[in-house]
Chain A
Amino acid sequence: MNKLKKEVLYYGLSVLAVILVLAGWWAAAAANENLASPADTVERFFRLMENPIMGKPVYVHVMASVRRILVAFIAASIVGVGLGVCFGIFPTFRRMFWPVFAILRPVPPLAWIPIVILWFGVVEDTSKYIIIFIGIVMAIVINTYAGISETDPLYLNAGKALGANKWQTLVHITLPNSIPAIFAGMKTGLSTGWMSVVAAEMIAAKEGIGFLINMSMKTTPDTALDFVGIVLVALCSSVVSLILTVIERKLCPWLRLDVK
């Protein structure tokens, strides 16, 4: 087979796969009257634009979720990178507090929901921010620490030979060198974060994508609304992760040298 033929075949396979997914979805919807078809979903989206839920148009729900995750993400990044750096550069601190971190880490973010609600109530947004924060922060701490402790000794020694003090070593060598690991942690954290947003909003909220998803389960099932919510979450999380990739590239121009 020549190259062109192969490319066409592969492209055809990808298109076929997407068509099959849509066809399967359509068939499932035809077989189950409660399950919305792709057309119902598109139609539901436009209906959502005209008839807002809770008096809020769809973009207000999207912005509510985005705002929650951004606030929690910024807080988790500051705390997570800070803790990770402390674990990385202060051996005594690591000895004392890594065990505490290690016993908290295996508790899944969603398992924190009931206790956080007991502490901060269900109505206020505080409990949602905290649940999302917990979802994001763990991965950032671990990756920051890993990035710092895996710094190439060659660079550390070079810095030492040139007379860098501890602070300079951190700012000019260890931290820049850890940026890819930190960003990987942020992306892992964000995908847990989106799950936490949906969970927190499903449990109690008056707006947000998770709220829309939860509304789809009321009285008569409205799966079209759920599909709309799914598409919105997927879109938002792709956009946010794309933005992070762009920032990472700006921050680490040296990484682009390997690409090609």
Chain B
Amino acid sequence: MYNEKKRSAWAKLALNLSGLVMFFGVWELIVDIGLISEKKLVAPSAVFMTFLDKLTNVVPDGNTIIAHTLTSLQLVLIGFLLSCLIGVPLGLLMGFFKPAEHFFTPIFEIVRPIPPLAWIPIVIVALGIGIEAEAFIIFVAAFVPCVINSYTGIQATNKTLLDVARTAGATNAQLFFKVGIPSALPMVFTGIKVSFGSAWATLVAAEMIASTVGLGFMIQQGRNAVRPDIVILGMSVIGLIGAALTGLLSILEKKALPWRDLK
């Protein structure tokens, strides 16, 4: 019903590009003809010039765009990897072993609804204002999807497979490692992807904690200095890196789980 009518590959490409051209064209135009003040919005071309400039220029935020990017990447990766290392095994245990489920679910349900930002005042008091505090904010944001997806994934393990393994004399540990975990892997991967998204999305929040370098810090400084070009450059870099790393995770997922798309 809603399928596209037959179009040549060129027509599809042209349509795809037309939206983008329109978007950037209108954006460029309203700035160039002065419809919006340059204190509020700068043209895409100007953002690109700022990008080239920020490769070497440390004004006004004290670092080059490369230094900001590397710091942010390091921060997010620490929080994200920690959340995978703790969240995935926890979710798997909760989903497979009833006592673990009953013990950890209440704890998890207490922590889950707290917005990552609301941890900031506590974390500052408990961990100070270093990278530990910032990584912790990212960790709590990324932790939840890791647990939920691993938990749901292993709970959905095919009962027949479990019974077969049990009949063949598998121990509980063998059931967990040889049947439960492999069958949960697709959901685990989904969880890891979602959790990376949350980790990256929380970057700006984490860098609200007294940081002096990082992309989130850069856009805050851009606002203070009324430099929309810096702000939009920061947003673009955050968006691009987020999309690129999510794409990378999808590729890894296909490599790690070749059976996933077979239906």
Interface residues of A (CB under 8 A from B): 6, 9-11, 13-14, 16-18, 20-21, 28, 32, 34-35, 88-92, 94-100, 103-104, 106-115, 117-119, 148-149, 156, 160, 166, 169, 174, 192, 194-195, 198-199, 202, 210, 213, 216-217, 221, 223, 226-227, 229-230, 233-234, 237-238
Which residues of B sit under 8 angstroms from A221, Cβ to Cβ? 121, 124-125
Q: Which residue of B lies closest to A210 (CB)?
A: B117
Which residues of A sit under 8 angstroms from B22, Cβ to Cβ? 96, 100
- Let me know if B60 is at the binding interface, CB within 8 A: no
A-B CB proximity, top 4 nearest: A108-B201, A91-B4, A114-B223, A96-B19
User: With A18-B110, A195-B116, A234-B113 in contact, is A160–B1 under 8 Å at CB?
Assistant: yes
Q: How many Å lie between the Cα of A16 and that of B107 in the bound state? A: 10
Establish whether residues A100 and B203, one from each chain, have CB atoms under 8 Å apart when the complex forms.
no
Which residues of B sit under 8 angstroms from A104, Cβ to Cβ? 239
Tell me what chain A mostly uses at the interface: helix, strand, loop, or mixed. helix
Q: List 28 A-B contacts (CB under 8 A).
A: A9-B99, A11-B102, A14-B103, A17-B103, A18-B107, A21-B106, A32-B125, A32-B126, A91-B3, A92-B15, A107-B242, A108-B201, A108-B238, A110-B203, A117-B223, A148-B2, A166-B1, A192-B201, A194-B115, A199-B117, A199-B205, A202-B120, A213-B120, A213-B121, A217-B121, A221-B125, A227-B122, A230-B114
Which residues of A sit under 8 angstroms from B23, Cβ to Cβ? 100
In the complex, identify which listed stretch (B85-93, B158-166, B180-188, B229-237) lies at the interface while the others stay far away: B229-237
Q: Which residue of B lies closest to A88 (CB)?
A: B2
Establish whether residues B239 and A17, one from each chain, have CB atoms under 8 Å apart when the complex forms.
no
Which residues of B sit under 8 angstroms from A148, Cβ to Cβ? 2
Please provide the chain B residues from 178 to 200 with a CB less than 8 Å away from any CB of chain A in the complex. Answer: 200
Q: How many Å lie between the Cα of A16 and that of B238 in the bound state? A: 42
Distance between A95 CB and nearest chain B CB, rounded to angstroms: 4
Interface residues of B (CB under 8 A from A): 1-5, 12, 15-20, 22-23, 39-41, 98-99, 102-107, 110, 113-118, 120-122, 124-126, 200-205, 208, 216, 219-220, 222-223, 226, 228, 231-232, 234-236, 238-240, 242-243, 246
Establish whether residues B118 and A198, one from each chain, have CB atoms under 8 Å apart when the complex forms.
yes
Distance between A179 CB and nearest chain B CB, rounded to angstroms: 17
Q: Say which residue of B107, B122, B226 sits within 8 Å of A226 (CB atoms).
A: B122
Most buried by A among B40, B117, B204: B117
Q: How many Å lie between the Cα of A229 and that of B115 in the bound state? A: 10
Q: Which residue of A lies closest to B36 (CB)?
A: A119
Establish whether residues A223 and B121, one from each chain, have CB atoms under 8 Å apart when the complex forms.
yes
User: With A99-B20, A100-B23 in contact, is A156–B1 under 8 Å at CB?
Assistant: yes
Distance between B93 CB and nearest chain A CB, rounded to angstroms: 13
Q: Say which residue of A100, A118, A234 sits within 8 Å of B19 (CB atoms).
A: A100
Establish whether residues A111 and B125, one from each chain, have CB atoms under 8 Å apart when the complex forms.
no
Establish whether residues B121 and A233, one from each chain, have CB atoms under 8 Å apart when the complex forms.
no
Establish whether residues B4 and A95, one from each chain, have CB atoms under 8 Å apart when the complex forms.
yes
Which residues of B sit under 8 angstroms from A226, Cβ to Cβ? 118, 121-122
User: With A13-B102, A96-B18, A221-B125 in contact, is A108–B203 under 8 Å at CB?
Assistant: yes
Establish whether residues A115 and B232, one from each chain, have CB atoms under 8 Å apart when the complex forms.
yes
User: With A98-B19, A233-B115 in contact, is A16–B103 under 8 Å at CB?
Assistant: yes
Q: How many Å lie between the Cα of A148 and that of B3 in the bound state? A: 12
Q: Which residue of A lies closest to B105 (CB)?
A: A14
Which residues of A sit under 8 angstroms from B121, Cβ to Cβ? 213, 216-217, 221, 223, 226
Establish whether residues B99 and A111, one from each chain, have CB atoms under 8 Å apart when the complex forms.
no
User: With A115-B228, A118-B223, A199-B205 in contact, is A213–B118 under 8 Å at CB?
Assistant: yes
Establish whether residues A103 and B20, one from each chain, have CB atoms under 8 Å apart when the complex forms.
yes
Establish whether residues B235 and A111, one from each chain, have CB atoms under 8 Å apart when the complex forms.
yes
Distance between A207 CB and nearest chain B CB, rounded to angstroms: 17
Q: Which residue of A lies closest to B15 (CB)?
A: A95
